[in-house]
Amino acid sequence: MNKRATQADVAREAGLSVTTVSLVLNGRENTRISEEAAARVREAAERLNYSPDPTARSLRTGKTRSLAFISDDVTVTRYASAMIRGALDAAEERGYTILMAEVGEHPERLEKVVDSMLERRVDGLLFGLMSARRVDLPALPRGKRALLVNGTSAGLPSILPAEHDAGQAAVRRLLEAGHRRIAFIGRSPRVYDPYLSATIPQRYAGIDAALAAAGLRFADEVEGHEWEPELGYRGTRRLLERAASFTAILAANDRVAFGAYQALQEGGLRVPDDVAVMSFDDEQLATYLHPALTTMRLPYREMGSLGVRMLLEGEEPVPDAATLVPMPLVERESVGPPREG
Partner DNA sequence: TTGTACGCGTTATCAC
Partner DNA sequence: GTGATAACGCGTACAA
Which of 8, 154, 212, 213 touches DNA (CB under 7 A)? Answer: 8
Long-range (24+ apart) CB contacts under 8 A made by 240-247 are 240/267, 240/269, 244/181, 244/183, 244/219, 244/220, 245/181, 245/219, 246/181, 246/182, 246/183, 246/219, 246/220, 246/275, 247/179, 247/180, 247/181, 247/182, 247/274, 247/275, 247/276
Query: Residues 181-220 vs a copy of itself: string with x where CB under 8 A?
Result: ----------------------------------------
Query: Residues 213-242 vs a copy of itself: string with x where CB under 8 A?
Result: ---------------xx---x---------
Given the complex with DNA, which of 94 and 134 has the nearer CB atom?
94
CA distances 333 to 257, 290, 317, Å, are 13, 8, 40
Contact status: 142 vs DNA (CB under 7 A) = no
Residue 8's binding partner out of DNA, a copy of itself, none, with CB under 5 to 8 Å set by partner kind? DNA
Interacting residues with a copy of itself between 92 and 131 (CB under 8 A)? 92, 97-102, 113, 116, 119-121
Stretch that binds DNA, among 3-11, 225-233, 244-252, 310-318 (CB under 7 A): 3-11
Return the biggest CA–CA distance within the chain.
Answer: 91
Which of 26, 46, 47, 51 touches a copy of itself (CB under 8 A)? Answer: 51
Stretch that binds DNA, among 36-44, 87-95, 266-274, 326-334 (CB under 7 A): 36-44
Residue 34's binding partner out of DNA, a copy of itself, none, with CB under 5 to 8 Å set by partner kind? DNA
Kindly give the interhelix angle for 35-48 and 18-25, rounded to the nearest 10 degrees: 90
CA distances 272 to 182, 249, 328, 329, 337, Å, are 13, 10, 20, 17, 10
- For the chain, the straight-line distance linking the first and the last C-alpha, in angstroms and rounded, comes to 71
Which of 1, 2, 27, 34 touches DNA (CB under 7 A)? Answer: 34
Contact status: 56 vs a copy of itself (CB under 8 A) = yes
Residue 116's binding partner out of a copy of itself, DNA, none, with CB under 5 to 8 Å set by partner kind? a copy of itself
Beta bridge partners of 151: 133
Distance CA 304, CA 128 (A): 8
CB 50 within 8 A of CB 10: yes
- HSE, side-chain direction, 13 A CA sphere, residue 333: 10
Beta strands 158-161 and 248-251 are: unpaired
Residues at the contact surface with a copy of itself, assessed by CB under 8 A: 1, 51-56, 58-59, 64, 66, 69, 75-76, 78-79, 81-82, 84-85, 88-89, 92, 97-102, 113, 116, 119-121, 141-142, 228-229, 233, 255, 258-259, 262, 265-266, 284-285, 288, 290, 301
Residues at the contact surface with DNA, assessed by CB under 7 A: 3-4, 6-8, 15-20, 22-23, 25-26, 28, 31-34, 36-38, 50-53, 56-57, 59-61
